Amino acid sequence: MLRGGGCSSAPVTADRRWHRALWIALIVNASMFAVEVAAGVAANSQALKADALDFFGDSANYAISLVVAGMALSVRSRAALLKGVTLLVFGLWVLGSAVWAAYAGIRPEPMTMSVVGILALAANIGVDVLLYRFRDGDANRRSVWICSRNDAIGNVAVMAAAAGVFGTGTAWPDLLVAGILAGLGVWGGLQIARHAREELQAEGRVTRISLATPARMTDSA
C-alpha cells in the first residue's frame, strides 16, 4: 500500500507542477499578445505587432498541450490546423500593415516600442525560469522550453528596432524587423497547417481501411 502510494504520487505531483507551469505560461503569453497588439496599434509599430505572433504561437501551444493533448489525433490535428491558419492570417495582416505604413510614411513611437519590448523580454525570461526545471523532460516539454527561450530573440529585435527608429528618425528599422518576424510567422503557419492536414488525411485513410476491412470479410464469408 505504501509502495503503491509512493510510486503513483511522484508522477502525479510532477504532472500537476507541469500543468500549473503551463497555465501560468499560457496566461502570461496570452496577456503579452494582447499588450503587444494594442501597443503596436497605438504606437504604429509593425515590429510590436509581428513580435506578438510569438506570444500567440506559444499561447496556442500551451493551450493545445493543456486541453487536447490527451484527445484523439484528429482533434489535436484540427486544433493545430486552426492554430496554423490563424497564425498565417495574422502574419499576413502584419505584413499588409507594414506595407501600408511604408507607403503612408507612418513613423512609430520608439519609446513605447522600447518599454513594451523590455516588458516582453521580462515576461519571456520569467516563463523561461518557470519552465527551466522541465527542460530535460520528454520531447514535448523540452520543445516548449526551447521555444520560450528563443522568443527572447524577437524581443531584443524589437528593442533594436526602437533604437534604430530613434537614431535614424525613420520607420525603416521597425519595418525591417516586422517583415522578418511576420515572414517567419507566415512560414510557420503554413508549415503547421500543412502538417496538420497531412495528419488528418493519413488518419482518414486509416479510418476508411478499417471500415472497409469488415465489409470485405463479410462478403468473402
Percent of the chain with pLDDT over 90: 39
Res 214: pLDDT: 55
Helix, strand counts (H, E) of the chain? 6, 0
Do 29 and 155 meet the contact criterion of CB atoms below 8 Å apart? no
209 burial type by CB count under 10 A (0-12 exposed, 13-18 middle, 19+ buried) = exposed
User: Residue 188's pLDDT is what?
Assistant: 83
Pseudo-torsion of CA 123, 126, 132, 137, nearest 10°?
Answer: -50
Q: Which of 31-40, 97-106, 180-189, 190-199 has the highest mean pLDDT?
A: 31-40
Q: What is the mean pLDDT of residues 65-89?
A: 80
Average predicted confidence (pLDDT) for the chain:
81
CB 92 within 8 A of CB 76: no
**69: its cell numbers:** 493533448
Predicted local confidence at residue 142, as pLDDT: 59
Q: What is the pLDDT of residue 27?
A: 95
> Residue 189's pLDDT is what?
84
Q: Where are the alpha helices (DSSP H) in 73-171?
A: 73-104, 110-131, 139-168
pLDDT, tens only, 180-219: 999 988 888 888 888 888 888 887 665 555 555 555 555 5
Q: Total structural domains in the chain?
A: 1
Please give the DSSP secondary-structure letter assigned to residue 105: T
Please tell me which residue, 51 or 210, carries the higher pLDDT value: 51
Provide the pLDDT for residue 6: 37
The DSSP code for 137 is: S
CA atoms within 13 A on the CB side of 151: 34
Write out the residue range of the structural domain in which residue 90 sits: 2-220
Q: Give the largest CA-CA distance in the chain.
A: 82
Q: Do residues 83 and 57 touch, judged by C-beta distance below 8 A?
A: yes
Q: What is the pLDDT of residue 87?
A: 84
97 or 1: whose pLDDT is higher?
97
HSE-up of 154 (CA within 13 Å, CB side)? 30
- Residue 210 CB coordination number (10 Å): 9
Which pLDDT tens digit goes with each residue over 14-26?
Answer: 578 888 888 999 9
**Residue linked to cell 490546423:** 81
Give the residue from 175, 188, 198, 178 showing the smallest Cα distance to 87: 188
- Spatial CB neighbours of 37, under 8 Å, sequence gap ≥ 6: 48, 49, 52
pTM: 0.76
CA distance 53 to 16: 28
Confidence of residue 61 (pLDDT cuts 50, 70, 90): confident
Residue of 96, 82, 18, 86 whose CA lies nearest to 56? 86
